[in-house]
Amino acid sequence: AQTVTQSQPEMSVQEAETVTLSCTYDTSENNYYLFWYKQPPSRQMILVIRQEAYKQQNATENRFSVNFQKAAKSFSLKISDSQLGDTAMYFCALSSGTYKYIFGTGTRLKVLA
Least separation in angstroms between CB 42 and other proteins: 7
Which CB sits closer to other proteins, 60 or 105? 105
Which CB sits closer to other proteins, 44 or 69? 44
Which CB sits closer to other proteins, 33 or 78? 33
Which residues are near other proteins by CB under 8 A?
A: 33, 37, 42-47, 50, 91, 95, 100-106
DSSP state of 59: P
Least separation in angstroms between CB 69 and other proteins: 22
Among candidate residues 86, 83, 76, the one with its CA nearest the CA of residue 51: 76
Strands (E), 1-113: 3-5, 10-14, 19-21, 24-26, 32-39, 46-52, 60-61, 64-69, 74-79, 88-96, 102-103, 107-112
Which CB sits closer to other proteins, 17 or 97? 97
Where does residue 34 rank: exposed (0-12), middle (13-18), buried (19+ CB within 10 A)? buried
Least separation in angstroms between CB 65 and other proteins: 19
Least separation in angstroms between CB 94 and other proteins: 12
